[in-house]
Chains A and B, each alone.
Chain A
């Protein structure tokens, strides 16, 4: 299997041009950006680094390990932003919605207007740029 077969460079370029064409495209492409990077990371982990995952073929990897790898390598804001929005578009329906704060005691401290978010032009730019920064790191440094 070609080492670069899951390199999402072209996908990300083409997908981001379609991102604003309709609301369904926007939501689905946010999710696809995340998963294209996750797949690429898993593929490089398996092939380039020789690390075994789970499952009968040892090719199933955890999202937590993907995130932790990026966090460890100075891409915390990029993966946190992308993951939070990926969860919003895959698991929640309403827009605007809220960024979930898990710890109830912390959630009580933070005002609701601080966690209310929507999908707008500005956030799409941040998501696209974050995806590209993660891609570059995976491509050239991982």
Chain B
């Protein structure tokens, strides 16, 4: 079952690349915008995993994102967009397989 989903994902990725379609739309991948280390906007998120002043963990399709910094807080949380405020020092992305980027 898991391998079926993985195969379907690979196929969609290949098709997207072949037709040069925007992957965040077609594959529902997160789009991250960082404004000068004081504001982070994440589209296509899947909710909040952890929220502390120095670490916020956000879920997205296929992985999680660790945002580290000081005085971190969620400025806005709606269906598609999550906006973080505070001083962002690092962003770490982990996929479901545990690979880090």
Q: Do chains A and B interact in one complex?
A: no
Query: What is the interface of chain A, defined by CB distance below 8 A to chain B?
Result: none
